[in-house]
Structure 1
């Protein structure tokens, strides 16, 4: 969609430049400037395509990217971005640490005996990671054209949340839950299976017990 939008803008700029050129000699400088900007847009778009190909080639050699790709809602673009922002999963002992690292954990507003009930996320850590999680979350709660869910586990969790929370808060909870699934998948070194997040955690605990 972004590339299509860029191409449409590029063509619109060229069209405007051509119209400006035939309008009068005094607009020639504007025509030249618009053409230069249009060429820059086209050049950057071509560079993005080259970088996308390089990312895909490199990602195909990283097992963790394949693990993230196994999670419905996380595709070829989001998987390397998420992994790049998360880094080495071994730095996190548990999912709670990864949530704190991402900055999507709830902040606590407290003063004396007062404890706030409408808490916002801390927004610490990488904004790119939070943005990637947001895209993954919105994708996961969508329905496909045939009516089936992209990620039935996350979708059902989202439906339960919006019964008691605003949609924005429910989506934040989905981001949190999705990150916990990501943690379990990377820690277990096993592809995602359509089981509940609690079962994912249980799998991780069993792996840890065997390792001990």
Structure 2
């Protein structure tokens, strides 16, 4: 006889169903999602176990982002519960959703908890290896960095959109990035376009040189290009120009602030490398720098959580389902839409970088690129990322240092 404890986790509640192997519902409490609620579940598990001596106790819940983290860790780390033959399982919400769809019934938290327990009863789950604290800490940093990068990209797009109102030819003319601090200082300054265009060339060059802290090799040439771009651009009315100037200055401050926060995160990420030695294995691959290394390690955690590289690829969503019936075998197999989107993002971005630096991956990408007439880059890049999964798996699993083709893999011991 086994005991299955299904927990439907939400922000405020833990709806629980205690179910045995004979499908008897032993209890269905609704508790608070806090330490008191978790302790109440624990006491009920211990009480039922002492009375029946279950062969195994399985506590399961959907992996609902931050809401399920604390309950799962509490049950996993509690010494009294771990004295029992216990499994703590976090389930893919998609699996539970599909399982619930088999039954024509209402949608309530109590029923959801029962169906989670019922799903555990048929034992179609895998007991995950809980990610160690250092990887969770790294994940908090890398996911925040990911979000800030996307915010900064969006801010830059809005900055360029408003810059076009002010000076529509500038981005086409200047030989440097519009987002360099010196250029943004000039564009978001209180000076009007006419004032900049009529400034003495030496004065504008000096202003650029000061803003750029002497990094421009030829500030006079840059000043001349800016003035020409301004003269060639359309003019807008004073009222609209004032509004655009305010918007540009606002986005300039936001972008500068985001850059500063990203630098702070990068320092914190770098400090965690000291306690994650396998970071050196990924850093040895040409094209995988500190950012991609941190992102991959944060999402993968300890590699022993996965039985093999195929399981790791499936976790990342780099997996194609086979479609076969009788003598029919589908030629087109779409990629699954599930998986860890952050890990998939870092693998694809890393693959794009590695193919530029490593001839083996460049040749593989080109081969896949030439195989089809449509969606060539996207398809080839995703397949290259799938190939990269095999390398990442062997480097992390065997603690190896990557060497280019012909040199083999060096031991990192």
TM-score by length of 2: 0.40
1:128 to 326, 337, 342: 342
Inter-partner Cα distance in structure 2 for 1:62 and 1:42: 31
* Counterpart contact for 1:103–1:130, Cα < 8 Å: yes
Please name the residue that 2:319 is paired with.
105
What's the offset of the Cα at 1:97? 0.4
Matches within 5 A, 1:28-47: 31-32=245-246, 34-47=248-261
Give the distance between the partners of 1:120 and 1:12, measured in 2 at CA. Answer: 49
Q: Which moved more, 1:119-128 or 1:88-97?
A: 119-128
Select which of 306, 309, 318 maps to 1:95.
309
CA separation of 1:48 and 1:116: change in aligned 2, threshold 3 A: same
SS at match of 2:401: coil
Query: Partner residue of 1:74?
Result: 288
Conserved 8 A contact 2:278-2:396 = yes
| Unmatched runs of 5 consecutive residues or more in structure 1 | 143-149, 204-212
SS of match in other structure, 1:53: helix
More strand per residue: 2
Equivalent position of 1:207 in the other structure: none
Cross-structure match for 1:145:
none
Bigger RCO (CA 8 Å, 6+ sep)? 1
TM-superposed deviation, 1:42:
1.6
Alignment pair present for 1:157 and 2:359: no
Question: Quick check: 6-15 or 67-76, which moved more?
Answer: 6-15
Following superposition, the deviation at residue 159 of structure 1 comes to 3.9
Tell me the residue number matched to 2:272.
58
- Does residue 343 of structure 2 align to residue 170 of structure 1? no
Distance, in Å, in 2 between the alignment partners of 1:158 and 1:81 is 22
Q: Structure 1 pair 137/25, CA: closer, same or farther in 2 (3 Å)?
A: closer
Shift in Å at residue 107 of structure 1? 2.9
The answer for the alignment partner of 2:188 in structure 1 is 14
Q: 1:106 to 1:25 in 2, by over 3 A?
A: closer
Q: Report what 1:187 is aligned to.
A: 397
- Structure-1 residue corresponding to 2:124: none
Residue of structure 1 in register with 2:202 after alignment: none
Is the Cα contact below 8 Å between 1:141 and 1:154 reproduced in 2?
yes
Between the aligned partners of 2:270 and 2:178, the Cα distance in structure 1 is 22
Please tell me whether the aligned partners of residues 309 and 390 of structure 2 are also in contact (alpha carbons under 8 angstroms).
yes
Given that 1:10 and 1:41 are in contact with CA atoms closer than 8 Å, whether structure 2 keeps it comes out as no
Unmatched segments (≥5 aa) in structure 2 = 1-152, 157-176, 196-236
- 2:332: which partner in 1? 118
Question: Structure 1 residue 191: deviation in Å?
Answer: 1.1
Q: What is the deviation of 1:138?
A: 1.6
Residues 43 and 189 of structure 1, relative CA distance in 2, 3 Å threshold: same
Separation in 1 of the partners of 2:239 and 2:294? 50
CA distance in 1, matches of 2:370, 2:241: 59
Q: Is the 8 A contact 1:81 1:129 kept in 2?
A: yes
Q: Secondary structure at the match of 1:106?
A: coil
Asked if 1 retains the 8 angstrom alpha-carbon contact of 2:285 and 2:354, the reply is no
Bigger Cα Rg: 2
Is the contact between residue 158 and residue 174 of structure 1 (CA under 8 Å) also seen in structure 2?
yes
Does structure 2 retain, via aligned residues, the 8 Å contact 1:102–1:125? yes
Alpha-carbon distance between aligned partners in 1 of 2:251 and 2:362, rounded to the nearest angstrom: 43
